[in-house]
A and B are shown apart, each in its own frame.
Chain A
Amino acid sequence: MIEYYLIIYIYAMALATISIALYGIIIKPNIIKKIIALTILGDTANVLIIFLAYRLISFPKPPILPSLKPSREELVEFMKSSVDPLPQALVITAIVINVAVIAFLVFLAIQVFRQYHTLEYNEIIKLKRGEQV
């Protein structure tokens, strides 16, 4: 029974973190803070996907087959005792993509700072309007 409460706890914490990250992305006026909130959002999503791969059995094994050329019986035994390998295969690409996107956003933020000498979103809008007038 305690596993179910733990699962509820983990889901609630993950989704609370996602909502905090969304709050940061939308409300915070500083561009760097928006990027930090975006990293929190991406990492939490990855943790959630990894958690979906977990199996509700005692001591699930890592997704590695016991022999090099498995027989049908070994595959069935593997599926009964190991974690789901598919979410891990998806997350390992998602992490690298996340880093690439964040690096590009950081470069854009540096470019904004060089142009306007500030990273506050509201001040950048004011400066832009002042230039046009």
Chain B
Amino acid sequence: MVKVLKILAITFLVLIILFTVYFVIEDVLGGSPKPVIRELGQFYIDNTYNVGKWWSGSPETVTAILWDYRGLDTIFETTVLYIAIIGCMVLAYKPLANILKKYEKEKHGLTLIVKTTVKIIIVLIAIVSINLALRGYISPGGGFAGGSAYAIAPLIIIAGYSVYYLLSMGYSLSKSAILRSIGLIILVIIAVAPLIYLGYILQNQMKTYALFPGYPVKIGPFYIGGSLIFMNIGEFLIVSMEFIMIFILISLYMRGGEET
């Protein structure tokens, strides 16, 4: 068994090295990072910002491609994340039943210096991540980046203090699940609403072949980028809360393993 695996590994490595050599030679001749933009990228930008007929309400091209032109892609990617979390919860469900512990100051956590640093840093993380999510349609960032950044705050609380401290702060699995569901509902409502006005699913701005007039780009003095800001808020809730659920589950699950 082990011999077969080793032979397989060596074959893989030889293939990878041959591929590397070929790729590098091809790269020098053809040049992979090109001075001009690729045809595929140009196609995407052309179709996302087809000037005159339609446009995306955001100057941030990554967000515009992600939510406007490739919206269904992102919806199914969110589904994959959802199913993975459901799998984790199913695996961890049973050992979680008999874990109810209080946070004890003396027993848990690292030194006072680390705890004070954690207290300062989590505020900064929260501000930066919410800023990333809310301004995702005009500056680099968005729901995914903001959500992933926000989930770091509970993670360093678990490392610095304890998972019981995190639970006593008010984070919990059921609250995270509710907020995650609110994010999913926001996504679904924003995606389906154009159908009522005879538009297309996930439609953002006005198109020549649909009656839906498009989401408002400007409310008062603020640009909101059509549906993009709502999508970013929903995705921020989904990603951050599901990551928090993963971290709480893993830390509680391991402690359950020690006890039994």
What residues of A have a CB within 8 angstroms of the CB of B66 in the complex? Answer: 89, 92-93
Contact of A79 among B45, B138, B139, B217 (CB under 8 A): B45
- In A81-103, which residues have CB < 8 Å from any B CB? 82, 84-86, 88-89, 92-93, 95-97, 99-101, 103
In the assembled complex, the Cα of A101 lies from the Cα of B87 at a distance in Å of: 10
Chain B residue nearest to A16 (CB atoms) is B20
Chain B residue nearest to A62 (CB atoms) is B140
Decide: A95 and B148 in contact? CB cutoff 8 A.
yes
* Min CB gap B148→A, angstroms: 7
In the assembled complex, the Cα of A19 lies from the Cα of B15 at a distance in Å of: 9
In the assembled complex, the Cα of A88 lies from the Cα of B242 at a distance in Å of: 22
Decide: B91 and A108 in contact? CB cutoff 8 A.
yes
What residues of B have a CB within 8 angstroms of the CB of A15 in the complex? Answer: 16, 19-20, 23
In the assembled complex, the Cα of A66 lies from the Cα of B61 at a distance in Å of: 11
27 A-B pairs with CB atoms under 8 Å apart are A4-B28, A8-B24, A11-B20, A15-B20, A27-B5, A55-B33, A55-B35, A62-B140, A64-B140, A68-B57, A70-B49, A70-B59, A71-B51, A72-B51, A75-B51, A82-B61, A84-B38, A86-B44, A88-B62, A89-B65, A93-B77, A93-B144, A96-B148, A97-B77, A99-B243, A103-B246, A104-B88
Residues in A lying within 8 Å of B, measured CB to CB: 4, 7-8, 11-12, 15-16, 18-19, 22-23, 26-27, 51-57, 62-72, 75, 78-80, 82, 84-86, 88-89, 92-93, 95-97, 99-101, 103-104, 106-108, 110-111, 113-114, 122, 125
The yes or no answer to B185 lying at the interface (CB within 8 A) is: no
